Amino acid sequence: MKIPIKYSLRNFKERKLTTGITVVGVGLVVFVFAAVLMMAYGIQKTLIATGTMDNVKILRKSSNGEISSIIGSDVQDVVSTLPYIKKDSSEKPIISFEPVVVINLNIKSGGVSNVMVRGVTSEVKELRPMVKIVKGRMFNFGSRELIVGSAIVKKFEGAKVGDKIKFAGDQWSIVGEFEAGGSGFESEMWGDSKQLLDAFHRGNTVSTITLKLTKASDFDKFKAAFESDRRLEEFEPKVEQKYYEEESELLSNFIRILGIFVTIIFSIGATIGAMITMYAAVANRTVEIGTMRSLGFRRRSILAAFLFESVLLSLLAAVIGLFFASFLQFFSVSTLNWSSFAELKFDFAISPSIIISSLLFAVFMGLAGGFLPAVRASRMKIVDALKSV
Q: For the segment 63-87, what is each residue's pLDDT rounded down to a tens digit?
A: 888 888 999 999 999 999 999 999 9
Which range (108-112, 195-199, 379-383) has the least confidence? 379-383
Confidence check: pLDDT of 6 > 80: no
Q: Point out the domain boundary residue: 176, 205, 233.
A: 233
Q: Quick one: how far is CA 202 from the chain centroid?
A: 34
- The domain total for the chain is 2
Q: Specify the range with the lowest mean pLDDT, choosing from 8-22, 38-52, 106-120.
A: 8-22
* Inside any domain, residue 242: no
Q: Which residue has the higher pLDDT, 194 or 306?
A: 194
Same-domain status, 66 and 188: yes
Q: Are residues 102 and 221 in the same domain?
A: yes
**Share above pLDDT 70 across residues of the chain, in percent, rounded to a whole number:** 84
Query: Is 24 contained in some domain?
Result: yes
In this structure, the answer to whether residues 84 and 188 fall within a common structural domain is yes
Asked whether residue 153 falls in the same domain as residue 78, the answer is yes
Lowest-confidence pick of 53-67, 195-209, 250-264: 250-264
Q: What is the pLDDT of residue 346?
A: 85
Out of 198, 233, 268, a domain closes at: 233
Q: What is the pLDDT of residue 133?
A: 95
Does 224 fall in a domain? yes
Q: Identify the domain containing residue 134 by its residue range.
A: 62-233
pTM of the entire predicted model: 0.78
Burial class (CB within 10 angstroms; exposed 0-12, middle 13-18, buried 19+) of 59: buried
For residue 336, pLDDT beyond 90:
no
Give domain status of residue 53, yes or no: no
What pLDDT is attached to residue 60? 93
Same domain flag for 84 and 224: yes
Give the per-residue pLDDT at 389. Answer: 47
Residue 240 lies in a domain: no
Quote the CA–CA distance of 163 and 182 in Å, as a whole number: 23
Domain boundary residue, one of 192, 209, 233? 233
Q: What is the pLDDT of residue 65?
A: 83
What was the pLDDT predicted at 269? 78
pLDDT tens digits, 249-287: 777 877 888 788 888 887 887 777 777 776 666 666 665
Identify whether residues 139 and 40 lie together within a single domain. no
pLDDT of 207 over the 90 cut = yes
54 within a domain of the structure (yes/no): no
The larger pLDDT score, comparing residue 375 to residue 214, is at 214
Q: Does 260 reside within a domain?
A: yes
pLDDT confidence tier of residue 88, bands split at 50, 70 and 90? confident
Going by C-alpha positions, the residue among 242, 377, 246 that lies closest to residue 309 is: 377
Place 384 in a pLDDT band, splitting at 50, 70 and 90. Answer: low
**What does the alpha-carbon distance between residue 285 and residue 336 come to, in Å, rounded to a whole number?**
54
Q: What whole-number distance in Å separates Cα of residue 47 and Cα of residue 246?
A: 9
Confidence class for position 377, pLDDT limits 50, 70, 90: low
Please indicate, yes or no, whether residues 326 and 289 belong to a single structural domain of this protein.
yes
Q: What is the pLDDT of residue 354?
A: 92
69: in domain = yes
Q: Is it the case that residue 324 has pLDDT exceeding 50?
A: yes
pLDDT for 367:
82
Cα(167)–Cα(173) distance, integer angstroms = 11
Q: Which of 50, 13, 37, 1 is nearest to 244 (CA)?
A: 50
Top pLDDT among 211 and 248 is at: 211
Mean pLDDT of the chain: 84
| pLDDT tops 80 at residue 175 | yes
